[in-house]
Structure formats: C-alpha cells, structure tokens
Amino acid sequence: MATAKAHTNIALVKYWGKKDQELIIPQTDSLSLTLDEFYTTTRVNFDQELTADQVMINGQQLAGPAAAKVTHLLDIVRQRSGLSARARVDSQNHVPTAAGLASSASAFAALAGAASRAAGLQLSRRELSRLARRGSGSATRSIYGGLVEWQAGHDDQTSYALPIMEQVDFGIEMIAILVDTHKKKVSSRFGMQQSVSTSPYYRVWPEVVARDMAAVKKAIAAQDIDQIGAIAEENALRMHALTLSADPGFTYFDSDTITAMTIVRELRENGVNCYFTMDAGPNVKVIYDQVNRKAVYSTLAAQFGTDRLVVAKPGPGIEIWND
C-alpha cells in the first residue's frame, strides 16, 4: 500500500495534439507551471482477494471508460512489477473534474506514484514522468514542481518532462477564475483529434510552439513575468483558434470566459499588468506579478465574486509515501 500527492499544472505553452494516441506522444513540446492550490491524493493497495480493480474518487465508485483508464495504467504497473493482484484505489481530488483545470494531470501523476510504489517499483522521477504520461499527457509534467518542460520525444523512452525551475524564486502567481466547474461537453482527447485532423491551420501549430518555447525559456531565465504572461496569452489564443477552425468548429469558451478576457485586457490598459490563459475548458487563469495581486483580485472579485476565485502560487512536485 502506498499514497501519493500530486498537483495540477497549467500549460504556459500548450501541447494540443498527439503523434501517438496509445503511448500519448505529443506533436510538440510544452511548458507548464505546477500550482499549489489544486491537487490529488491517491492511495493504492494491491490485494490478492480482489477480483477486479476498485476505484473510488471523492467517495464515489468509478465505472465505465473513466475506470478503464485507471485500470490501463495499473495494468502497465502490474506488467512492469510482475504483480497479478487487482488494486483498491482511493483518490481525493481537490480539483473540479474535466473542467479544464487539469484534474487528470494531478490524478494520473498521483496514481502513477502510488501504484508504482505499492507494487514495489522504485522509479526515478523521469521514469515516473513517463509512466504518468500513459494515463494523461499533462500528468507527465505534474511529477515536478515549479516550471516544467515536457519534451515531446518520439517514443515511450524519449517522451518525458524535466524541471526548468522547481523552486520559483520570483513573484509569478495565478488566479483561477472558476467560470464553470461542470464537466465539459468536448473532452480534451476528442478536441485534440478533431483539431489535428480537420483544422487547416494545424500544420503551422508546431512552428508556433517551437517559437514560443524558445521565447518563454528566455523570459523565465530573465524572470520577466510580463513576457511570460504575454507569450502564454498568445499561445492560448492560438490553441483555441484550432478548435474554432476545426470541422465542425467548437469552442471551450462561454460568455464568462470572454468577460474575464476583456477584464484582463482592461486592467492592462489601466497599467495593471496581467495576462490570461485557458486550457481545454471555460475557466480562465490570470497570470501576474504578486505585487499586482490586490488590484487584479479586487477587480475580478467585483465581477465574479470571491467564491469563484482561487489564488495559486508555484506548487511542489509529487510526494510519495508507504502506508
């Protein structure tokens, strides 16, 4: 039996599309910030008495395709460890599920950590990153804290995340605006496939990401939060342009998403530097220097209320312990 705690991450430069659906090898590199406020804690117990894997999330038993994804990762662990026993998985998810807040990132990172340790595997963080990727692409980055790069690679051995700056010692922060925490109508996996196969603009997306990756690494080295934010905002808009240009086109935005984006731009026009980004969901994350927290928070609270805002700082990497 073992337990792991992993945090979500928000991609500043996105990956959107896979070269290999089974191994979850992305079309491009990506770069993210691990967040302290959103996390998953998962306990795994391999038990010879069980006839099937049992998966509980926040006290509710998981079934169907969602449970099958968990069993798939457990099967990989069983294959590597030589175990045959089924597992009891108990997960507490402190992130709204499938709402564009990277719940799968923390969930599968924690599952990979707990399951591998419970099975007796002593994996390096790079090996954990590769294992977590098999459950969810973005989970590969949640093994590490702070600013993290996922190197796309070309196969299972070469696709993994590496830390760029685990101890973030400058003032970058983020406010998550919980626009809508319900499950999104279009899953990330389907949305990616649709964009890759039908958007006429997808062919230039790898070029956009390569340029943004080089630029954001320079901005991180310079601790230039404004430049980091500006790159993240443009990269997010171009990712979402792929969904709008798919056939049929679709969007993860709703009216509050647009409102939040407008407020951020108005704040900038009034001299308060902040920038927005969104993953595959309507919820907006606002990037800023902590010296601007009060101005950004109060303006957003006037529109959305304090109960829909979460202030997040750079978060830690995975923790794993034996029970």
Residue among 222, 252, 217, 219 nearest 236 (CA): 252
Q: Domain for residue 323, yes or no?
A: no
Please report the pLDDT score of residue 277 as a whole number.
97
Give φ, ψ of 290 to 5 degrees: -55, -20
Please report the pLDDT score of residue 101 as a whole number.
59
Please report the pLDDT score of residue 96 as a whole number.
60
Residue that finishes a domain, picked among 168, 197, 220: 168
- Sign of the Cα torsion 252, 254, 259, 260 reads negative
Please report the pLDDT score of residue 102 as a whole number.
59
Please report the pLDDT score of residue 185 as a whole number.
81
Same domain assignment for residues 140 and 179: no
Residue that finishes a domain, picked among 168, 197, 212: 168
Same domain assignment for residues 135 and 179: no
One-letter identity of residue 22: E
Same domain assignment for residues 156 and 13: yes
Helix (H, G, I), strand (E, B) or coil at 296: helix
Q: What is the pLDDT of residues 203-233, one digit of tens each?
A: 999 999 999 999 999 999 999 999 999 999 9
Q: How many domains does the chain have?
A: 2
CA distance 117 to 127: 12
Please report the pLDDT score of residue 58 as a whole number.
92
Q: What angle do CA 106, 32, 318 make, to 5 degrees?
A: 35
Please report the pLDDT score of residue 99 as a whole number.
47
- Give residue 195's domain range: 172-312
pLDDT along the chain (323 residues), means of 10: 97 96 97 95 97 95 94 98 97 70 87 98 98 97 98 98 97 93 82 96 98 98 98 98 97 96 98 96 95 98 95 97 93
In a 13 Å sphere around the CA of 177, the CA atoms on its Cβ side amount to 31
**Per-position b or e across 72-99, b if 16+ CB within 10 A of its CB:** ebbebbbeebebebbbbbbbebebbbbb
Q: What is the pLDDT of residues 37-81, one digit of tens each?
A: 999 999 999 999 999 999 999 999 999 999 999 999 999 999 999
Please report the pLDDT score of residue 189 as a whole number.
87
What are the tokens at 51?
A: 């006839």
